[in-house]
Structure 1
Amino acid sequence: MGSTTTTTEDKSKAAAFRIGLGDITPNNLGQLKRLNTVLFPVVYTSSFYKEVLEVGEFAKIIYFNDICVGGVCCRKENVPGSTSLQNLYIATLGVLAPYRRLGLGSKLLKHILENAKLPSSSGPKIAKVYLHVQTNNEEAVEFYKKYGFEVVEKCENYYPQFDVKDAFKLEKVLIEKN
């Protein structure tokens, strides 16, 4: 796990803490599963977690002082009619409530966006990054807008199993298609 030291202002004093991103491996996949169970009202399948193990830099766990407190999981999708472009779907990005507003979600999202922009020597380039957010989750919508995502669609009944069924589709275009 790579680690960086970050300083933040606590209400009364400055506190130093360590933040590190870790790869998802078979050895820590259970941690990710437990996190997702707490963070999201969706039960993810074993095939979801199998795919997570295969996306490399597009799935990470974040540690705060060596405690696993969040993660991000993405999947690559082929762009119809193109062999040189893919889209990247952020399936999950979350941080446990006591650790929010410390820059951890931003660190996860920045990592994904930076890696999505890197040139790929062995495969398609990432054309856009997108995700869905429940329409009542204004905090999440504003978070993603801060990083250049735009609401491009309202998807009615996207979450049929939830009280708030509608979602916004947000996306950030990295490469314009011709």
Structure 2
Amino acid sequence: MTTANSTPTDNAQQNSKYFRKALNDLTPNNIGQLKEVNKVLLGDELGQAVYDDALKVGDFAKLALFNDIIVGGIITAKSTVAEAKKNKVEIVSLAVLPAYQKLGLGTMLLDHIINTSETQLAGSEIHVRIPTKDTAAVSFFTKRGFAASGDPKSDTQMFVRTI
């Protein structure tokens, strides 16, 4: 039930159990929508090559839907570290539009990548680079088992989770 003095975000948080949240595959037909979400949140820092590669990684790139509307997504890059004989999954982009944050969509996206890595790439590591000043992102990944790696005084820091 909507009240006159509540904001749409407040209503979404209070009533999120009545809404449909889902993940969907990234395809050539919907990648443009993910580009727009990323443009809003990240600017134009991701190049076309990132999106071209995202179409090739299968389950390692997903869209977040809220009531069948694309509101976020995750893009990863997979590689093999030959000397360590490990697979590496790097999160290139994890974005959810501000009005849909705090509803569990980011967690759904990240959990999907963790579960897929466990199933398909046992013994792998998941890496994500986070601006050190983004305390919300640092907290989000730390709560999900990621540990800081590298120089904590730099502008960005790598966080790693071993699967």
Q: After TM superposition, is the score higher than 0.5?
A: yes
Change (3 A) 1:31 1:152: same
Name the counterpart of 1:145: 142
- Greater share of residues in strand: 1
Q: Which residue of 2 aligns with 1:36?
A: 38
- d(CA) in 2 for partners of 1:62 and 1:17? 13
Query: CA RMSD for the aligned pairs?
Result: 2.0
Structure-to-structure mapping, 1:4-153, within 5 angstroms: 10=14, 15-81=17-83, 85-119=86-120, 125=122, 127-153=124-150
Listed as ranges, the gaps of 5+ residues in structure 2 are: 1-11
CA contact (8 A) 1:87 1:126 kept: no
Per-residue CA deviations over 1:6-53 (Å, capped at 9, x if unaligned) read xx861xx67501011111100001001111101113422221111000
Give the Cα–Cα distance (whole angstroms) in 2 for the partners of residues 89 and 14 of structure 1. Answer: 30
**CA distance 1:17–1:152, shift in 2 (3 Å):** same
CA distance in 1, matches of 2:16, 2:78: 40
Cα displacement string for residues 51-106 of structure 1 (whole angstroms, at most 9, x for unaligned residues): 00000111001100111100000000121325x53100001001000101000100
Q: 1:119 to 1:55 in 2, by over 3 A?
A: closer
Indicate if the aligned counterparts of 1:32 and 1:71 stay in contact, CA closer than 8 A: yes
- Percent identity reads 34
1:114 and 1:35, CA in 2 relative to 1: closer, same or farther beyond 3 A? same
Paired residues, number: 152
Q: 1:138 to 1:50 in 2, by over 3 A?
A: same
Structure 1 unaligned residues grouped into runs of 5+? 1-7, 158-165
Higher relative contact order (CA 8 A, sep 6+): 2
